[in-house]
Amino acid sequence: ISTTALQMSDDEARIERLNAIRRQLAEGTYNISGKDVADKILKVLKS
């Protein structure tokens, strides 16, 4: 598979994931733990 095809596949997967999160937010069913948020913040700050 070409690099372009792989990138398009990644973009489509990202869009699907974002749409799923948007639906969950709209329905009030999106849940994420405080630990996950803190871990992500620390990861960004360390880089």
Tell whether the model's pLDDT for residue 4 goes beyond 90. no
Structure tokens, 33: 């733990």
Domain coverage including residue 21: 3-46
pLDDT of residue 9: 81
Tokens 């996950």 — which residue? 36
Greatest Cα-to-Cα distance within the chain, rounded to the nearest angstrom: 39
Structure tokens, 39: 């871990």
Tell whether the model's pLDDT for residue 21 goes beyond 70. yes
pLDDT of residue 6: 72
Percent of the chain whose predicted confidence (pLDDT) is above 70:
98
**Pairwise CA distance, residues 39 & 33, whole Å:** 10
**Pairwise CA distance, residues 11 & 20, whole Å:** 14
The structural domain count of the chain equals 1
pTM: 0.58
At 24-39, the pLDDT tens digits run: 999 999 999 999 999 9
